[in-house]
Amino acid sequence: MKILPLKKTYAGKTVLDLPEIELGTGRVTAVIGANGSGKSTLAKLLAGIERPDERSWKAPAVRIGYMPQKSYAFRMSTARNVALNGDDAQRRQHLLKVLQLEPLARQRAKKLSGGETAKMALARLLMGRYELLILDEPTAAMDMESTFAAEGLIAGYCKETGCAVLLITHSIRQAQRLADEVLFLHRGELAERGSAAQLLAAPAREETKSFLEFYGM
Partner 1 sequence: MGSSIQKAIALILSADRELLNILGTTARVSLTSSVIALLIGVPVGIWLGACRFRGRGALVVVNRTLMGMPPVVCGLLFYMLFSGVGPFRHLKLLFTVKLMIVAQVVLITPIVVGNMETYVSDIAPAMRETAKGLGFGLGKRFLLLLNECVYPIFSVYLLAFARAIAEVGAVSMVGGAIAWKTNVMTTAIMQYTNRGNFTLGIALGLILMTLSLIVNVVLSLMQRRMSR
Q: What is the binding site for partner 1 (CB under 8 A)?
A: 44, 47-49, 63-68, 70-72, 74-76, 84-85, 108, 111, 121, 124-125, 128, 130, 134
Asked whether the beta carbons of 37 and 43 are under 8 A apart, the reply is no
Q: Smaller CB distance to partner 1: residue 164 or 172?
A: 164
Its sign, for the CA torsion 77, 78, 81, 86, is: negative
From the list 164, 135, 36, 185, the residue with the least C-alpha distance to 199 is 185
Least distance between partner 1 and beta carbon 25 (Å): 18
User: Shortest approach of partner 1 to residue 47 CB, angstroms?
Assistant: 6
Q: Residue 44 or 119: which CB sits closer to partner 1?
A: 44
Round to whole Å and give the CA distance between 196 and 158. 18
- Least distance between partner 1 and beta carbon 67 (Å): 6
Q: Could you give the count of Cα atoms lying within 13 Å of 92 in the half-sphere of its Cβ?
A: 14
Half-sphere exposure at residue 6, Cβ-oriented, CA atoms within 13 angstroms? 28
Closer residue to partner 1, CB minimum distance, 64 or 149 = 64
Q: Which is nearer to partner 1, 5 or 48 (CB)?
A: 48
Calculated CA dihedral for residues 8, 15, 48, 117, nearest 10 degrees: -170
| Choice between 40 and 208, CB closer to partner 1 | 40
Question: Going by DSSP bridges, is the β-strand pair 64-67/132-136 parallel, antiparallel, or unpaired?
Answer: parallel
Q: How far is the CB of 68 from partner 1 (least distance, A)?
A: 5
Residue 85: CB minimum distance to partner 1, A:
5
